[in-house]
Chain A
């Protein structure tokens, strides 16, 4: 297995790990977003709570939760490692950098966006995951849906969530197509499509997630 460690520790290997874990998290976001979007059915959280209940007790999902945390940690660890490594490659910085002339700001700021996301994620996990999994506060009269209603009464929390979603959107905008490039899937026929799907995906995910706290805050859903 020494070869695998060697491959994954090469500059290309680190990128591969980033791409694979990234795509895995991208697929998770689809499920997470889809499930949460049931709040917009405006059924008082009935569908949402049923889904949450299922997710909380299905053994496959519970196993996947561990895998998900593993993937997330790997993505974070690998990202930090890459960021630290790459920083060392240019010990003397340029005095003038015209980055906008050759690349998008968010593609150059994945580390920063990732860090913001991590901070947001800690807050987010505290709000909901910690509440539902590690405390006994979740009852039939106080569902996860009710907890959302409570959490999103604070304008500061809503603002943090919206900013988190914007970070997520840009992170995905670069990350989605970048993962395909790293996996070697760059082809004049398909790459424009991948980029387009990536952009649509990033916008939908970010907008849908951001709409949730906003909707609660302004009482757009009951």
Chain B
């Protein structure tokens, strides 16, 4: 049933990448429990606009949990208190009346803040550009059913491919490591015969790019897996390690 909440919001405000930021405190009232967290921020923003303040900048687009654009660190956790959801799918019924909610941007040197809660995640694109693909030009393909793939392998590859590139893994990790993200793509393609051809080259190139971007090293705390809105498994990191070591120790 719909209820209404009064909340105190502590939100990180930062004008741009070059200036220091700080927390500002806002009160919002009459927040419907049926609202999504982003709709609650919409309400705050329209009130800020009405009184002539700059609204809070935040990334968001599809609002159905698949584009990976929304990215808030809410009360000490990426995408807030619920497991397996993005911020756009987090609804206000998960909060209590009178609660104080702290909202911060993803924090990582590889994800510099652009403004307020907006960060630059283009490092992920560069990791994919380094090797997260199968080198097949348009028109080169054979008939799709000429290549049977065991259902279990296809399902496992799909589970890894479900990554939405939101960066919650980096945000959750105490080392700001991007290994869950990187390993999900390496894993997906390593599981499929199409990807095996370039598997060794891919693992080396993507790991090198990941390091160059300034992400930390994994210390296997499992926070990334726990906070991933798509449930990407740590098994992918283990698989990446196998792929990487067998590549570096066997390549010529």
Q: Which residue numbers of A lie inside 8 Å of B, CB to CB?
A: 3, 6-7, 10-16, 82, 85-86, 88-99, 101-104, 107-108, 110, 174, 177-178, 181-188
Contacts and interface: CB of A to CB of B under 8 A. Distances in A.
A89 B109 contact: yes
Contacts of B73: 94
Contacts of A107: 219-222
A177 B220 CA distance: 9
Nearest to B235: A186
A90 B108 contact: yes
B76 to A, nearest CB: 3
A96 B221 contact: no
Contacts of A91: 109
A195 to B, nearest CB: 11
Please classify the interface of chain B as helix (H, G, I), strand (E, B), loop, or mixed, using the class held by over half of its residues.
Answer: mixed
Interface residues of B, number: 49
A184 B109 contact: no
B226 A101 contact: yes
Contact of A11 (B177, B248, B249): B177
Given A15-B241, A89-B108, A102-B226, 15 more contacts: A16-B245, A86-B174, A86-B216, A89-B214, A90-B174, A90-B216, A93-B107, A95-B104, A101-B76, A101-B81, A108-B223, A181-B237, A184-B238, A184-B242, A185-B238
A116 to B, nearest CB: 17
B76 A86 contact: no
B22 to A, nearest CB: 10
Contacts of B245: 7, 12, 16, 184
A85 B216 contact: yes
Contacts of A178: 219-220
A6 B109 CA distance: 23
Contact of A174 (B81, B179, B220): B220
B86 interface: no
A13 B239 CA distance: 14
19 contacts: A11-B177, A11-B179, A11-B207, A12-B240, A12-B245, A13-B248, A89-B175, A89-B214, A90-B176, A98-B75, A99-B76, A108-B221, A110-B219, A181-B220, A182-B218, A182-B241, A184-B241, A184-B245, A186-B234
List the 8 closest A-B pairs by CB distance, nearest first.
Answer: A98-B76, A186-B238, A184-B242, A102-B226, A89-B216, A86-B175, A89-B176, A11-B217
